[in-house]
């Protein structure tokens, strides 16, 4: 199931119709604990997103082509993944997947500890159970060693950790049923040309003992990130909600300090340093907002150095 590698990549940065404009709060269940949405086609077609796409195609998709002989870049339009405590993880890959790609995915799945071919109201789906010590397992919160997946809906691959949830998705034509009301739930940042959206509810998140990462998570409720093409530039925006307004101010000070250290480092590319110095850090009540605008030229230079 190498498609799941794409989800992991989203985290390193991260709807009913999976619209090109991205997802909004109405497009996910109210009990969502984390979500990721990546629009590769928007990335390819947008002015600033093309720089990000070129890097992904050269550095990430090339590896998948080499390892699995599958051209993900040519076949995948959008990826959406989310999780709820009740129904586990749901993963929807949208694109015109070739029969060859589907066959290769099934061959890989058939080599697992357990592989079953099943049927729901005339639609074929599959069950895979992987070995506990599988070195290729990808650890994502909410995903265990058992997964159900299907290609029965045209131009979609659907996967879920709950068989009941997969049945619901198949019955609904592969559409995600949103709650239409997100009072007190995750917030979702969106823009007209959203490229990457991600967020999580940090309560109950599996933290590492001690350390910077753990301390931030312990004092926040929700986090969201947006990468979008706005006026021909890449805009990266992150928001956090904290337990108390004082904590939002403290985190803002930490962010400003980290940005200053990076921006004035002698090892940093001058263009990247200039972009970092333009970072905006805003606190309102218990919300912290951090945003930075980067030109396509700076993105290309940074990717070339990576």
- Give me the domains of the chain, ranges plus CATH numbers: 4-171 (no CATH), 202-305 (3.30.1360)
Supply the pLDDT for residue 17: 33
Supply the pLDDT for residue 28: 85
CB atoms within 10 A of CB 273: 16
Supply the pLDDT for residue 217: 65
Ranges of the chain with pLDDT below 70: 1-21, 68-69, 132-144, 179-185, 204-218, 302-306
Read off the pLDDT of residues 229-260 as tens digits, 9 standing for 90 and up: 998 899 999 999 988 899 999 999 988 998 88
Supply the pLDDT for residue 133: 58
Nearest to 202 by CA among 224, 182, 181: 224
Phi, psi of 105 (to 5 degrees): -65, -40
Q: What are the counts of helices (DSSP H) followed by strands (DSSP E) for the chain? A: 11, 12
Strands of the sheet with 220-230, listed across from one edge: 114-120, 123-129, 146-150, 156-160, 88-94, 78-84, 32-39, 194-201, 220-230, 233-242, 287-294, 280-284
Supply the pLDDT for residue 205: 58
C-alpha 178/C-alpha 258 separation (Å) is 37
What pTM did the predictor assign? Answer: 0.82
């Amino acid at each position: 199931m190498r498609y799941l590698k794409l989800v992991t990549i989203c985290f390193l940065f991260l709807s009913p119709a999976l619209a090109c404009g991205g997802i909004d709060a109405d497009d996910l269940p109210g009990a969502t604990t984390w979500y990721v949405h990546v629009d590769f086609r928007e990335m390819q077609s947008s002015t600033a997103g093309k720089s990000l796409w070129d890097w992904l195609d050269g550095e990430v998709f090339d590896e998948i082509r080499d390892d699995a002989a599958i051209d993900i870049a040519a076949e995948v339009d959008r990826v959406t993944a989310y999780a709820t405590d009740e129904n586990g993880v749901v993963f929807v890959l949208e694109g015109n997947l070739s029969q060859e790609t589907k066959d290769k995915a099934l061959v890989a799945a058939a080599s697992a500890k357990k592989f079953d071919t099943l049927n729901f109201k005339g639609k074929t789906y599959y069950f895979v159970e992987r070995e506990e010590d599988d070195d290729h397992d990808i650890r994502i919160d909410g995903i265990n060693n058992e997964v159900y997946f299907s290609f029965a809906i045209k131009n979609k691959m659907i996967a879920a950790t709950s068989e009941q949830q997969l049945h619901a998705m198949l019955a609904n034509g592969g559409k995600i049923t949103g709650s239409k009301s997100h009072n007190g739930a995750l917030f979702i940042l969106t823009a007209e040309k959203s490229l990457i959206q991600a967020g999580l509810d940090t309560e109950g998140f599996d933290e590492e003992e001690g350390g910077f990462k753990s301390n931030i998570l312990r004092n926040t409720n929700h986090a969201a990130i947006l990468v979008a093409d706005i006026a021909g530039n890449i805009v990266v925006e992150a928001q956090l909600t904290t337990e108390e307004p004082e904590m939002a101010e403290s985190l803002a000070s930490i962010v400003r300090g980290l940005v200053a250290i990076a921006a004035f480092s002698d090892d940093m590319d001058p263009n990247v340093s200039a972009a970092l110095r333009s970072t905006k850090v805003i606190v309102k009540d218990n919300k912290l907002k951090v945003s930075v605008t980067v030109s396509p030229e700076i993105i290309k230079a940074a990717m070339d150095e990576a």
